Amino acid sequence: MWVFREGRITVSGQAAFDALASALRNVSSADSRDALVDALLRAGELECSLTDAGSHDALRSAEITDILAAALLGLPGSELALENAPALLHPLSPPHSLSISTAEGFAYYAVHPLDFALLADQLWLHDHRAAVVGIRSIGTTLSAVVAASLKRRRVRSERITVRPAGHPYDRRTSFSAEQLRWIARHRAASAHFLVVDEGPGLSGSSFLSVGDALLEA
């Protein structure tokens, strides 16, 4: 018997912000890859929950995730950007509470962000533009890592994230009006579209739903 459940918990918004702020401080003091990975996972988790909540702070939170991913991969200029990352967090307004989904790949299946950087390095791209679509929740963090890995190869890359909904065997993905404009812009530029998640799961429904939605767009 397979049992599907929502692995969400409700936490204090201020506590989630404080945890990321603490992780960012640890990065500057510890100077270790483990501290950087911890901060990246916390940033992706916060970005995901803010995006799910429709918060206007989600885009600024995504900047922090991107900065940490770039720093993990050692992109030029990432050290200076990392120093300024805490300043991006200060203007944000913590909501009273946040609904957070456990990133099961990180928590239970030994998925490491750098695994996806290695995969992105192996992609053959015939031009220098990519549009990365991450599937929330874990695809938030992983999409930032894939985009950073492509930038390291001088591929111009941008990313968005989506949350497929519906029955586990029949997910559906809908793009916002802004995301449809983003897709049209990248399609006009002949960009490669990359869908990023930890894996197809039991049914592959989420992956397929994003592919179908992209084709419809």
- For the chain, how many helices (H) and strands (E)? 9, 5
Tell me how far CA of residue 186 lies from CA of 75, 79, 175, 182, in angstroms. Answer: 23, 29, 14, 6
Q: What is the mean pLDDT of residues 106-117?
A: 91
Confidence band, pLDDT 50/70/90 cuts, at residue 5? low
Confidence band, pLDDT 50/70/90 cuts, at residue 6? low
Contacts of 50 (CB under 8 A, 6+ apart): 57, 58, 61, 95, 98
Cis amide bond preceding 137, omega within 30: yes
Q: What is the mean pLDDT of residues 123-140?
A: 92
DSSP letter at 181 equals H
- One-letter amino acid identity for 91? P
Structure tokens at 186: 């990248």
Could you tell me the pTM of the whole model?
Answer: 0.93
CB-CB contact of 137 with 96 (8 Å): no
3-state secondary structure of 111: coil
